[in-house]
Each structure stands twice: as structure tokens, then as C-alpha cells.
Chains A and B, each alone.
Chain A
Amino acid sequence: MTWQADGNKKITRRTFVMGGVQLLLAFTLFGRMFYLQVLEADKYQTLADKNRISLKLLPPPRGAILDRNGIPFAMNRKIFRAMIVAEETGGKLRKTLQNFGKLVPLQEEDYERILKEIKRKKSFVPVRLKDDLSFDEMAAIQLNIPDLAGVSIENGLMRVYPQKEFAAHPVGYVSFVTEQDLEQENLLSKMPDIRIGRTGIEQSYQDFLYGETGNKKMEINAVGREIRELEKTDPIPGKDLILTLDSRLQKAGYEALKNESGSAVLIDVQTGEVKMMVSTPSFDPNIFNEPVDTKTWSRLNTSDRHPLLNKAISGLYSPGSVFKIVVALAGLEAGVITEKTKIDCEGRLFVGEHPFHCWKRSGHGPLNLKQALQHSCDIYFYEVARQTGVDKIIEVAERLGFGHKTGIDLFGEKEGLIPSRAWKEGRFGDAWRLGDTMNLGIGQGFLLATPLQMALMMAHVANGGKKLTPVLSMDARKEPEKLQISSRHLRIIREGLTAVVNKPGGTAYHARIDVDGQKMAGKTASTQIRRISLAEREKGLKKQSELPWKDRDHAFFVAYAPLEHPKYAISVAVEHGGGGGAISAPIAGIIMQRALELDKEDREKSK
């Protein structure tokens, strides 16, 4: 037994040491538990929630865009779309896709996109096969559902534009979320099906039309599969937006202008409401619901007639003779001329060595202001501009709405350009010369304006001194302000403009409306694109129609009607149209008359 006695003591001692060590370890574990479960519990609680809760965003239905009478420009159509869940195909994804392709034709790109999306997403996430199934396709799918494991049909909304190209520019369009959008706001990546307003009203009233995103808190497991719904906030649908546009006028305007590259704007001279805004050539905004194929996209983008551009607000032109209205007002205000001042037009005028020509080579003879406007005599306005001076002219031009944005509720509006002494020195390092003033007198040279600015100027003249802000949304209408222009001077101008259209010899005489209460007054302009060389002038000017399209003059016409109590102002701009009187004035006449006719109809209907 001796061999055991000492060993027993030792083993007992050592066991107590070991027991002590184990107690120490146990305390360490308790300490660690305390640290994780008490001190850091909040942090881990948050992390656990982040693990399990996935926020699913619910896009609201987009508000409709209606015309002033409630006719929809943009609305949502219920559609059926085919979806596929990869894991439910029982491993026969390709076979299922093939079967589906037999019923609903798919393009090569569609297959690529579908397979790419399936690969990128988890196998239980539905992937879109095709939007907007027709009834026949729906029926075919329902019939063949046994061969289409994993395919399902779900409801969706699609943006449709029933007016198609009639109102494409002011209304705009929506399109898919792009990579750039995702960079700005990555919440969008959680709603791949939403569309964003890209141009026009769809863009400028994006937030209003969009509504508010709802969300659903889903409990998900480790691989992201949804287990149950925890909480839901319904989306708030976007509100409907009523525009000042009249869909009937949009159609009329488009029909009148569709063969040209140009624009037409009609505004209410009392309120600034834009009743019609057309830009041609136009496009069908519905095509942007799907990703646009590259061919169509490049055709729309590279055409020299710029179908995507809203020329009414983004087209910049020399206003030409339209600007004579401004020069006349400046002359009157400066006291350089009166209603009765006569200036003799001899066909040309020399400034030093340099000759300035009237468009009528033989000259108009002595003219007063009204006659000068009626015939659009260049010499008269050269002379007025020379005497009035550039500073006064640009000051009046600014007051009438040139050189700055009109404030219309659209993105992409251009400011235009009023040249000044300072501007020219900054831009060219060259002093302002008398020749520049002369050119300004007939609206040529550096001067640039949008058709909307011209329409607005016309409205200011027509309403006798109310400063307007043109608007497209009924809710954006603003109270007119006072325009600091003598109403007496405006009346003189109006008389001149009445003569332009209604007096034989007026530049727009043949475009007159010979109906009482619908008579129109206006001003034509044809602005040259190229400098006319001396040699050409001596050979005799070619007819516009003989020139290549790109070299022809821009044709403008601004007008208001009726004469007594003006209601509307219109501006028609036709790029390379040739003559303002010949091309633009008749188009304006058609639209103006239609607008007044419609008013009459509506009045009678409401009686």
C-alpha cells in the first residue's frame, strides 16, 4: 500500500488545482456571456434584426395627367405580365423557357435578359418574362400551364399615353430606372419595376405624380427567402394632375405642323395658361415603357429634325422681324418716334460704307409705324434702332420676356440671349458697334429667343400690359403682374399688327381669318440662316423653295385673336420653312381658328 499513499495525497492536491482552473474558466465564460448578452446586447439585437428583416418597397400607382377637360394624356393601364420562378421549374428552366417561347414570341435579347436576371437573383425570386400579355397569349399560357412549371401571371400597371405623339413633348414620358438613378438613390434598386419621369410634365411633376412609396417589412431567412410579413405601410397613390392643355387643340396643332420641323404654342393672354404646345416631328412616348432598342434610340437622337427636343421651349432662334414689335415699343417709349413719324424707305441705308438692305429691294417709300409693321419694312426699324440705341431696346426686350426663362413648369427651358455692350465685350472682346444695333433692330444678329418667349411677348402686347407666367398645370397658375409698358403704345402696336394680317399688302394678309370675332393680328418673320453674299444679291435672290432644306429661312409667325378682346396669343416656328407669312401664318391661322371655334362650341354646350 505504500505506493499509493503518497500518490493519493498528490492526486487530491492536483485535482483541486485542476478544479480551480476549471472554476476560473467557468467564470471567464460567464464573463463573456455577460459581455455579449448584457453589455453588447443592443448591438447584437440590432444586427439580428438587420439579418432577419428585409424592407420591401411598394411603388404607388402613378397619378394620371389630364387635359383641361379631363381627357387623359397619361394614365395607367392594368396589364398582365408573365413571371418565372427558377426553382419551381423543377430544374427544367431551359425547357420551360422554350415552351413559353412557343406560345409568346420572345426576342433573343429577352432570353439574354431573363437568363441573366435568373442567374443574378436567388432561385425563388420571380423574374419577368414578358410585360403586357395579350388576351390570346394569356389564354395560351393558361391552357398550357402543365408544360410551364414555374411560370405565373401577375397584375401590373403600365403607363400609357393615349394621345401618342400629339402631346409627347409637354407631357413627357417615363422610363426604366437606369444605372445613374441607382447611383443617386439606391432605394430605387429595390423597386425595379418603377418608372421615372424623364421629360415634360412627367419629369417636372415627378414627385407629385409619383405619390409616396409604401413598404412591407418581411422576415427573411438566411438565404433571403421571405417567411412572413411583419408590418406594412400602404403606398399613397400619386395625385392626378390637370393641365391647361386642350387635347383637341394638341391634335389640331400636331396635324397642322406634322410635316414640318417646328413648334407651336398657344397661350391664354389673360392667365398665361398654355392651351397648346406642339413640337414636330414628334414621337410616341409609349415606346419608352420598354427599354428602347438602340436603332430607334439613335434614330431619335441623331435626326437633324430633333424629334425628342421640345422646340417650343428649347429651340433657340433669331426672332427676326417678330422683334420689330419690341424695337417699335422701345422707339415709342424713347420718344424717338410717334405714331405719326414717317421714315422714307429707299431700299437701302448706309452706315458709313456699309449698306443695310430692306427685304424689298425697290424700297417702301415713306412709311409711318403702322405701315412699317404691316410691310415689315427693314429700313424703318434700322432707323428706329439707330436712334433709340441698344440699351433702351434690350431693356424693353427684357421687360417683355426675352433673355430669361419664362418660368413655365417644365425642365429644359432655354433662356435665349439678348446681346448687350457688356455681353459682346465679354464674349468677343470687341466693342459694340452701330451695325450691331442695326441688326438688333430687325431681330437678327446675336439675338436668340424661344418660340415660347415670342408667344409670351405677343400675349403681353395683346393683353394691354399684364405680365404673365406661362403654365401647363392648372394649379401652377399665377396672378398676372403689372407690365411697365404704356397701354397707349401697345394699342398703336396692335393696330399695326392688325394691318399685317387684315390689310391688303400686309405680310400675312392671305392667312387672315375672315370671321367676325375670330379676326387675328400678328407679325411674320423669316430669318436667314446664311449670310447673303453681295454676289448672290446682285444675281437676284433665289426662291426659298429652290434652296436645300438646311439653307432655307426659319419661318415665324406670332399672333393674337380676336382683335377686340384678345384671348389667345400664338407663336408658330417652322425651321427652314421659308417665309413666315407663307408657311407659319396659315398654320397659326388654322390653330387659332380651331381654338376659338372650340371655345364657341364649349360655350354652347354648357348653355
Chain B
Amino acid sequence: MSLFLDRNCYFKDYELSFKDRLLNLSWSYFVLITIVVGIGILLLYSVAGGSMEPWAIKQTYRFGLGCCVFFFIALTDLRLWMKYAYVLYGISLLLLIAVEIRGEIGMGAQRWLDLGFMQLQPSELMKITLVLALARYFHGSDEEDVKRTRHLIIPALMMGVPVGLILIQPDLGTASMLVFVTLAIFFLVGVQWWKFAVLFVLGLISIPIGWQFLHDYQKERVLTFLNPERDPLGTGYHILQSKITLGSGGVFGKGFLEGTQSHLNFIPEKHTDFIFTVLSEEFGMIGAGVLLLLYMIIIFYGFQMALKSCNFFGKILALGLTVNFSLYVFINTAMVMGLLPVVGVPLPLVSYGGSAMMVLMAGFGFIECVHVNEEMVIGRLGSSDS
């Protein structure tokens, strides 16, 4: 344990040159990410019937752009991000409110910002800036602070306000992701076990109340999840076909470009949320297992880099982002395997989608940045003194 968590911490006047930063980069982490994206592009090529158009080619460009974001963030000074953490959070909150208001006023409103080359949803942005803000917040807290419930009110609000806004949209998937990530950070910084227990009980009690506020289609999804045969041609169709696709792949799969379920369009959203089934159908349990394994390595790599960080901000940031990534993986795969209701959560790095790719690459950039700056000690208020 101490072996892979070994490092030196430098307290004062810690400055890295650009060259030092380049040398500190963890290339193996980047290669792992690239392999997963590569698998994704391969699958997008397959579901398009053996063609780079229309998805694989775009996904490649986006990954290129994502790499720029990744390296840009990875090579910056971590203290800079800590300094502007609340500002960035505030900006994404304002954007969220802005698209929300525009959604209320304008007819046929968009929930995203058009950046010209891609569309950015503020809710996606929030997935990173919320973690930044929480990391910044808990960086200055000591163990006693964390144990006080009052101390948790501000971070709870930091999460609660955007979650409320996103729920109105309505985007149950993203909102619950934010809740999970925040809870995970609470847990990691040391909030007592019993508080989670209380929250869990409160949550159970509120289920019947919350049910009233769900949209009909959301209720439908939950009911259908609980009993997919209830409506095999309607909403249950997705779950059933998803399971058929997975199961029919068997151990070795039907072979590249040979998946019948995906090529004959039995899979809904085959290039986005259900792409894992395409992998399972064409490459079988072995192919799907390899991808899951790669994901697990990326996740544990993230944990390791977080724990090695000399600064609390970096630790929480890297942990939060890694947890966020792992939530994507688990929710999506569990969903296509019929273990969770169908919620709109893509398979990270593999599903087709611009926003998600950018946000993920930015997230990995931050984790890499934490790694690059791991030996730096950051003072309670952000300076490098103690």
C-alpha cells in the first residue's frame, strides 16, 4: 500500500516548469483512455454498417479536440483551478439558470449552448464545476468541521440548487449523478456513517412522495423496469431487446460487423446509450469483459493518483471526478443488462456524443493535473504556505 502511494511532499515555494509538468504526465493513464475511445470508434464504425460515417469520424474529431482540452488542463497549475473553483461553479450555475429561463420563455427552446463546433449543456459542465467547488470547500475543512452537520449545509446547497434546476428540465439521469457524486464526496471526506443511514431512511420515506412528481414517462420506465414483460412492444421493448442482444452474443460474440440485433435496428439508441450491447453482441462476454476491465483500471488508477496527492483539494477533485466516471460506467452497463431502469446515461468515452466526450476529457485532464501537481502542498486558504 505504501509502495504505490509513495511520494514526497514539498511545502514551500513549489513551482514546476513546463518541462517538469510534461515529465510528470502519466502517459499510461492517457493511453488507457485512448484504448477505450478506440473501442468506441470501432463500435460506432460497426453500428453504421461498417462505415466511418456518420458517427465514427465525428467521434474521432471530438476525441482529438478532447485531447487538447485534456492536455491543456493537465499542464496548468492546480492552484489556479482552486482559486477560480467557486467562480467556475458560479458561471455554470448562471448558465444553467439562463438556459432554464430561456426554456421557460422561448418557444422550442434549447437546453444547450451552441459553441459552433459542439453543443454544450450547462448541466454537463456542472458535473465538473460542482466537484471543483466541493473540493475547494472541503479543502479548508478539518475533521471536526466535517462532523458538524451545519458545516454540510453549504455543500448540500451547492448540489441542491443545480440538481433542482436540472430536475425541472427534466433530466433525471444527470440530476441523480450529481446527487451521487456529492454524497460520495461527503462520504470520502469523512461524514459519519449514521448520517448516511438517516438520509437513506428519509429517502425511503420520500419515495412515495417523490413518485407524485415524476413525469408519466419516468414512472413508466420504472414500472417497466420492474416488470419488462408488462409491455413487450412499448417501453419494455428496449430492455428486452437489450437483454436479447447481450445474451445472443454468447461468450465469443457473433464477430465484428456481424451483430444482427444492432444492424437490423432492434436496438434503440444503439450508437449512444445502448452501445455496450453492440460490443457484447459482436465480441461476446470476452469483449465486454475486457472493456469493463479497462474501465476498472482507469477507475483505480484515478483513486491511486488521488490518494498520492499531497493536497486535499487535489485528492477530493480527483476522487470526485473518478467517482463521477465510475457512476457513468456502472449505471449504463447495469441499465443495458436490465439491472437498473432505463435512464439516459451514456457509456463514457464509448457512446457517441460531443458534450459528454468534452466533459469527460476535461475531467480526466483535471485528474491528470492533480497527478502532475501531486507533490505540491496547498495551504488552507489556497497559498502554498501552511
Contact = CB atoms under 8 A, between A and B. Distances in A.
Interface string B36-64: 00000000000000000000000000000
B261 interface: yes
B160 interface: no
B190 A1 contact: no
A69 interface: no
Nearest to B143: A6
Interface string B276-318: 0000100011001100100010011001001100001001100
Contacts of B284: 37
Contact of B330 (A29, A40, A52): A29
A32 B243 CA distance: 11
A44 interface: yes
Contact of B289 (A11, A33, A219): A33
A51 interface: yes
Given A45-B248, A52-B264, A222-B265, A11 B303 contact: no
A223 B323 CA distance: 39
Interface string A1-37: 1111011101110110011001101101110111011
Contacts of A11: 188-190, 307, 312, 315-316, 319
B280 A37 contact: yes
B120 interface: no
B87 interface: no
B244 A47 contact: yes
Interface stretch (B100-108, B333-341, B358-366): B333-341
Contacts of A3: 141-143, 380
B339 A32 contact: yes
A223 B265 contact: yes
B308 to A, nearest CB: 10
Contact of B266 (A12, A37, A51): A51
B260 A14 contact: no
Nearest to A40: B247
Given A26-B296, A52-B260, A10 B143 contact: yes
Contacts of B303: 15, 18-19
Contact of A14 (B190, B263, B288, B386): B190
B326 interface: yes
Contacts of A33: 246, 280, 285, 288-289, 292, 337
Interface in B234-256: 241, 243-251
Contact of B260 (A22, A40, A41, A48): A48
A18 to B, nearest CB: 7
A109 B285 CA distance: 56
A10 B5 CA distance: 15
A226 to B, nearest CB: 11
B187 interface: yes
A38 interface: yes
Contacts of A52: 260-261, 264, 266
Contacts of B265: 221-223
A227 B263 CA distance: 10
A474 interface: no
Contacts of B316: 11
Interface in B128-185: 141-143, 146, 184
Contacts of B289: 30, 33
Given A29-B337, A30-B289, A4 B312 contact: yes
B292 A29 contact: yes
A44 B285 contact: no
Interface class of chain B by DSSP: helix
A7 B280 CA distance: 42
A30 B187 CA distance: 26
Nearest to B377: A1
Contacts of A7: 141-143, 146, 189-190, 312
A543 interface: no
A321 to B, nearest CB: 71
A220 interface: yes
A43 interface: yes
A41 B250 contact: yes
B280 A48 contact: no
A18 B333 contact: no
A29 B245 contact: no
Nearest to B299: A22
Given A18-B188, A51-B261, A41 B248 contact: yes
A37 B386 contact: no
Interface in B315-357: 315-316, 319, 323, 326, 330, 333-334, 337, 339
B333 A44 contact: no
Contacts of A37: 246-247, 249-251, 280, 284-285, 288
Contacts of A2: 142
Contact of B285 (A8, A38, A51, A222): A38
Contacts of B306: 15
Contacts of B143: 3, 6-7, 10
A41 B339 contact: no
Given A7-B143, A36-B337, A41-B250, A219 B307 contact: no
Nearest to B319: A15
A49 B319 CA distance: 44
Nearest to B190: A10
A14 B187 contact: yes
Nearest to A45: B248
Nearest to B184: A18
A220 B264 contact: yes
A597 to B, nearest CB: 69
B247 A41 contact: yes
B137 to A, nearest CB: 13
Interface string A334-352: 0000000000000000000
15 contacts: A3-B380, A7-B142, A10-B189, A11-B188, A11-B189, A14-B187, A29-B334, A29-B339, A33-B280, A37-B246, A37-B251, A44-B248, A51-B260, A219-B260, A222-B265
Interface of B: 5, 141-143, 146, 184, 187-190, 241, 243-251, 260-261, 263-266, 280, 284-285, 288-289, 292, 296, 299-300, 303, 306-307, 312, 315-316, 319, 323, 326, 330, 333-334, 337, 339, 377, 380, 386
Given A3-B143, A40-B247, A52-B260, 6 more contacts: A4-B312, A10-B143, A14-B189, A15-B307, A38-B251, A51-B241
9 tightest A-B contacts by CB?
A44-B247, A48-B248, A3-B142, A221-B264, A222-B265, A37-B285, A41-B250, A10-B190, A36-B247
